[in-house]
Structure formats: C-alpha cells, structure tokens
Chain A
Amino acid sequence: GQQVMQIPQYQHVQEGEDFTTYCNSSTTLSNIQWYKQRPGGHPVFLIQLVKSGEVKKQKRLTFQFGEAKKNSSLHITATQTTDVGTYFCASYGGSQGNLIFGKGTKLSVKP
C-alpha cells in the first residue's frame, strides 16, 4: 500500500532558527495534507496541497509540493516555542479513501 516516509524523526532547534521536515513517497500522490499535534493533544489540520509544484504560506510556515507530486516539505522560519509539537504529513492511500500518515517529525524549541 501507499506509504509516506517522513524525515527527520526528531529536530531540536534554538528559538529563532529555521526548521524543515520532509515527506517522500515512491508513488505519485494525489494530494498531501499536513497536521500538527501538540504534546498531549490531537492532530490539527494545517493545509492541503493538490497541484504539482504548489507552494502555500501561512505566516512563518511554507508548504511545498514537489513537481512530480512525490515529495513535500514544511518549512518554519524563525521558530518560536509555540511551534513545539509533532508535524505529520498524510496522503490518501489506495482506492479506499483512507488517509495514511507519515511517522511525523517531533520539533522541540529551546528558548
């Protein structure tokens, strides 16, 4: 079945540094979604990318979808302590419509 591989698994940064997490697939993805889960919380939808080469921004967050629609990235500029959490990419797998999540990148930010 379809899988999305996410790297790195963990990232520790100093507040103010940038952060990037990458999501890769061996197959072409119809779309990619990104979620954030705060410690002890539940996943919260951030954004969806559908088009090849698409770039979307939300304040300090920049989301990209690769030209071949096999990879995606989330970049945070000048991290803040409020960015702490685990960031997941996800894509709909197979023909059944279930959303498959990557293993996530856990971000910690040192003040």
Chain B
Amino acid sequence: NAGVMQNPRHLVRRRGQEARLRCSPMKGHSHVYWYRQLPEEGLKFMVYLQKENIIDESGMPKERFSAEFPKEGPSILRIQQVVRGDSAAYFCASSLTGERSPLHFGNGTRLTVT
C-alpha cells in the first residue's frame, strides 16, 4: 500500500524558471494539502484541494503560485518565475475524509533556486 508519493525529491531551478512539483496521494484519498517548510521552521499551509476543486488557497501567494488536483493524475504545485526566496521544502499530504482525518505526508520536494 504505497504512501504519498512526491517527485522530484530534489529540484534545482535558476531564477525565472518554472518549478512543477507532483504529488500522488495515498490510494483512496481524495483530499490533498500542500505545505511549505523553511529550514528550522514550521509547516506553513499553502493550499487544500479535493478532486478538481480548490477548497482553500488562503496560504498560497496570489502571484506565480498555482495548484491543481485533476480528476486523473497527481496534484501539481506550480511555481512560475521562481525567485531565491522560493527555496524551501514543499510537502504534500493526503487524507481520507478531510477534517479530523490524520494527514499522511510525502517525503517532500526540496526546491533550490540558484
């Protein structure tokens, strides 16, 4: 029973390029969350999605960031025109039923912007 799969594990981008982070939730999970973590800091909520719907994107910057969770395929977090400040670990988590369900996290994608 595969857990939450994120790829790539490490991603290096030059300033101005695009970063695409992928997340396949656990089998049967239809709720996906994206979090950002800077070194030695906590987990900052970015966006919460269900299949084909964005439920809450209050933690995601309005510009350059977007997320989707299509009917088929993984959830994608897209960062356009990356800047050095986007360097961080991005974690995806999934849950079975949403509120009150435990989150199962992937191993994260470490994004480095040079």
Contact = CB atoms under 8 A, between A and B. Distances in A.
Nearest to B40: A106
Contact of A44 (B40, B45, B105): B105
Nearest to B105: A42
A98 B104 contact: no
A42 B45 contact: no
A98 B42 contact: no
A100 B105 CA distance: 14
Contact of B100 (A31, A35, A44): A31
A50 interface: yes
A57 B85 CA distance: 40
A50 B45 contact: no
Residue with the greatest number of chain B CB neighbours at <10 A, chosen from A43, A48, A97: A97
Interface string A89-110: 0001010111111111010000
Given A48-B100, A97-B55, A97-B56, 19 more contacts: A1-B58, A33-B103, A41-B107, A42-B91, A43-B103, A45-B102, A45-B103, A48-B102, A50-B100, A88-B42, A96-B48, A96-B55, A96-B58, A97-B48, A99-B33, A101-B42, A101-B43, A102-B42, A104-B42
30 contacts: A1-B58, A30-B99, A30-B100, A33-B103, A35-B103, A41-B107, A42-B105, A42-B106, A42-B107, A43-B43, A43-B93, A43-B105, A44-B105, A45-B102, A48-B102, A88-B42, A88-B43, A96-B48, A96-B55, A98-B33, A98-B48, A98-B55, A98-B59, A99-B33, A99-B45, A99-B103, A100-B45, A101-B35, A101-B45, A106-B40
Interface of A: 1, 30-31, 33, 35, 41-45, 48, 50, 88, 92, 94, 96-104, 106
